[in-house]
């Protein structure tokens, strides 16, 4: 029969107290053991009818419950930095808690219980771009550079943060509060980074100012400087920020730490960025590094910034031309426009013995092919290499023929 607290247990207790029948007979009729009947009788004598209700089955004391000191340390560190459970776990292990540090899952449970865990919406990732970039397989192999996006301080000053990170160690090489995306401020920022950390092999950027222009060569004064320093300048495809995803993810961390909200003055914002740089490199554990800090992984480059730029070295078979101030060179009695950003630079024109095309070189970069059009000549961009083995083999056979 179904048991109801206010009826069945109370009836059983009343019949036992009347002593008209034996306890065994009453228990058989109610379908319970004598031990159960005496339990309800004892609770009724101590607490009255309220004692016949169901009690919570949770233990009075949890053996693995967090100490108040440990819980307070987790909450304090979370409110101070806003980090997730994995980073908090590593920081608490390094700090005063040491071996008393709770597990990552326990920290996550604590953050949820305290309402300190923010649930982000699931992101739908776009398909990966299939072209190959230089892999960041060691420090200073690839530096990633980008502008975070402008914002205004409390006094109305415009800030354009230029960020440069090392692709392997995630080390924040430079965080500069620029006033615009002009070439002058960007060059000062890169010059300071090169003097302090040396030269990288590759710099990966997007196609915005001051890294690229809509011209045929796509060069700017800044990218020309990179090439003269022996740095390969790689650019992502247009409207493809996911190809520089590490830098975009870093910008979210930067925004949460120093931009939301912005400081009252430009000077205060610069100081805040300096504190963030130290914390990000020296203190904050990084997920991609196995929760090590970027400073523990990064090593400065052995390639130092030269005091004077070396002139280009072209093969003897190439014909060297100096670009005029209007951005043109002379080839076979005709003027060829290559861009004013290359004014006074030395270019080389080399005729390919296989296809007979004249290609224009600037240091180790091919700017394009000289193409005639009527009585004039123009610079035409190089066609992309064929994709797939069949297309490549057909092109090789046609050149041999």
Question: What are the two backbone dihedrals, phi and then psi, of residue 64, each rounded to the nearest 5 degrees?
Answer: -105, 20
pLDDT class of 12 with cuts at 50, 70, 90: confident
Q: Which fold has domain 142-297?
A: Nucleotidyltransferase; domain 5 (3.30.420)
- Counting every residue written for the chain, the total comes to 401
Provide the pairing of β-strand 328-331 with 202-205. unpaired
* Highest mean pLDDT (candidates 15-29, 80-94, 176-190): 176-190
pLDDT class of 128 with cuts at 50, 70, 90: very low
pLDDT class of 50 with cuts at 50, 70, 90: confident
Higher-pLDDT residue of 1 and 343 is 343
Q: Are 274 and 176 in contact (CB under 8 A)?
A: no
Positive/negative CA dihedral, 342, 347, 353, 358:
positive
Q: Using the predicted structure, report yes or no on whether residue 387 has a pLDDT greater than 60.
A: no
Residue 398: what pLDDT?
Answer: 46
Output the pTM of the full model: 0.70
* Highest mean pLDDT (candidates 77-86, 184-193, 205-214, 376-385): 184-193
Count of Cβ atoms closer than 10 Å to residue 233 Cβ: 22
DSSP summary character for residue 144: E
pLDDT class of 399 with cuts at 50, 70, 90: very low
Q: On the CB side of 392, how many CA atoms lie within 13 Å of its CA? A: 5
What would you report as the CA-atom Rg of the chain, rounded to the nearest whole angstrom? 36
What is 89-116 written as a DSSP string? HHHHHHSS-GGGPPPHHHHHHHHHHTT-
pLDDT class of 4 with cuts at 50, 70, 90: low
Of all residues in the chain, the percent with pLDDT exceeding 90 is 48
Provide the pairing of β-strand 158-166 with 151-152. antiparallel
What is the rounded distance in angstroms from the CA atom of residue 204 to the CA atom of residue 142?
Answer: 7
Q: Using the predicted structure, report yes or no on whether residue 127 has a pLDDT greater than 50.
A: no
> How remote is the C-alpha of 90 from its chain's centroid?
19
Mean pLDDT of 17-36: 88
Mean pLDDT of 123-128: 40
| Secondary structure of 30-84 as H, E, C letters | HCCCHHHHHHHHHHHHHHHHHHHCCCCCCCCCCCCCCCHHHHHHHHHHHHHHCCC
Q: Are 12 and 49 in contact (CB under 8 A)?
A: no
Higher-pLDDT residue of 176 and 3 is 176
Task: Report residue 272 as tokens.
Answer: 């805040």
Long-range contacts formed by 272-280: CB under 8 A, 24+ apart: 273/161, 273/175, 273/177, 276/175, 277/172, 277/175, 280/172, 280/253
Residue 21: what pLDDT?
Answer: 87
Q: Are 262 and 269 in contact (CB under 8 A)?
A: yes
pLDDT class of 267 with cuts at 50, 70, 90: very high
Listed range (37-51, 139-153, 340-354) with the worst mean pLDDT: 37-51
Task: Report residue 373 as tokens.
Answer: 């059009």
């Amino acid at each position: 029969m179904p048991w109801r607290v206010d009826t069945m247990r109370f009836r059983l207790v009343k019949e036992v107290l009347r002593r008209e029948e034996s306890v065994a007979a009453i228990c058989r009729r109610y379908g319970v053991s004598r031990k159960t009947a005496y339990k309800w009788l004892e609770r009724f004598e101590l607490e009255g009818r309220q004692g016949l209700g169901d009690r919570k089955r949770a233990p009075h004391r949890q053996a693995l419950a967090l100490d108040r000191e440990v819980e307070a340390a987790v909450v304090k560190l979370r409110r101070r930095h806003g980090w997730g459970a994995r980073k908090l776990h590593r920081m608490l292990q390094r700090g005063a808690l040491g071996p008393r540090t709770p597990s990552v899952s326990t920290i996550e449970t604590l953050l949820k219980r305290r309402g300190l865990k923010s649930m982000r919406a699931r992101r739908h990732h776009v398909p990966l771009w299939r072209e190959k970039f230089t892999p960041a397989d060691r420090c200073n192999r690839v530096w990633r550079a980008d502008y975070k996006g402008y914002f205004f301080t409390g006094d109305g000053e415009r800030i354009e943060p230029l960020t440069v990170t090392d692709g392997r160690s995630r080390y924040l090489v430079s965080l500069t509060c620029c006033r615009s995306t002009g070439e002058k401020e960007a060059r000062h920022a890169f010059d300071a980074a090169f003097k302090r950390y040396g030269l990288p092999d590759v710099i990966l950027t997007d196609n915005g100012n001051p890294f690229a222009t809509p011209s045929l060569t796509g060069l700017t004064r800044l990218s020309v400087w990179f090439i003269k320093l022996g740095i390969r300048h790689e650019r992502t495809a247009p409207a493809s920020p996911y190809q520089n995803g590490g830098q975009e993810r870093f910008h979210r961390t930067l925004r949460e730490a120093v931009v939301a909200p912005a400081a009252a003055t430009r000077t205060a914002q610069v100081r805040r960025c300096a504190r963030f740089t130290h914390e990000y490199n020296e203190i904050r554990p990084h997920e991609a590094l196995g929760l090590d800090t970027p400073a523990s992984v990064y090593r400065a480059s052995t390639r130092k910034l030269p005091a004077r730029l070396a002139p280009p070295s072209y093969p003897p078979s190439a014909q060297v031309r100096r670009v005029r101030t209007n951005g043109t060179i002379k080839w076979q009695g005709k003027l060829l426009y290559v861009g004013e950003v290359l004014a006074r630079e030395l270019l080389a024109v080399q005729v390919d013995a296989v296809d007979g095309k004249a290609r224009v070189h600037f240091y180790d970069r091919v700017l394009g092919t000289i193409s005639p059009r009527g009585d004039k000549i123009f610079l035409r961009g190089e066609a992309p290499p064929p994709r797939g083995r069949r297309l490549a083999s057909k092109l090789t056979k046609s050149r041999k023929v």
